[in-house]
């Protein structure tokens, strides 16, 4: 399974999710200056979300528009977003039929142990 993970900042929550372009190597996307593309991912409830993305090549980042996804959920600075890439049959690989799953998790300390709680 391929994955992108990022600990969220204030900017990620209030404006757009910023991810380094080299992290997007799990996607079949060619980054050519000023490139725009959409990424579709499924959340833990099975709902599909379309995320508009733009490449800021001079800064080496991809800006992901995800504010609609965040509305109505309690996402905080320090939470972590995970994008997992899996093939339709569940096996890992570079199959073009791969699906993306998006999750936001919060690390919490419970009885002296760190555990991940799924926010969405």
Cα(35)–Cα(52) distance, integer angstroms = 11
Give per-residue pLDDT as tens, 76-97. Answer: 999 999 998 866 554 444 445 5
Task: Return the closest-CA partner of residue 65 out of 100, 21, 23, 15.
Answer: 15
What digits encode the pLDDT tens for the residues 66-75? 999 998 889 9
pLDDT at 35: 84
Domain 2-118: CATH superfamily is DNA-binding pseudobarrel domain (2.40.330.10)
pLDDT classification of 30: cutoffs 50, 70, 90? low
pTM score, whole prediction: 0.80
Average per-residue pLDDT for the chain: 83
For tokens 């504010």, the residue is 67
Question: pLDDT band at residue 24, thresholds of 50, 70 and 90?
Answer: confident
Cβ neighbourhood burial of 104 (10 Å; 0-12, 13-18, 19+): buried
């Amino acid at each position: 399974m391929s994955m992108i993970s990022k600990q969220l900042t204030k900017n990620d929550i209030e404006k757009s999710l910023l991810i380094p372009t080299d992290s997007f190597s799990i996607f079949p996307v060619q980054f050519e200056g000023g490139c725009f593309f959409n990424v579709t991912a499924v959340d833990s409830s099975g709902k599909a979300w379309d995320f508009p993305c733009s490449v800021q090549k001079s800064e080496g980042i991809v800006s992901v528009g995800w504010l609609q996804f965040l509305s109505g959920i309690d996402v905080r600075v320090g939470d972590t977003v995970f994008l997992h890439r899996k093939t339709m049959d569940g096996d890992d690989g570079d199959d073009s039929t791969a699906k993306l799953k998006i999750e936001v998790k919060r690390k919490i300390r419970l009885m002296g142990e760190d555990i991940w709680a799924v926010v969405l």
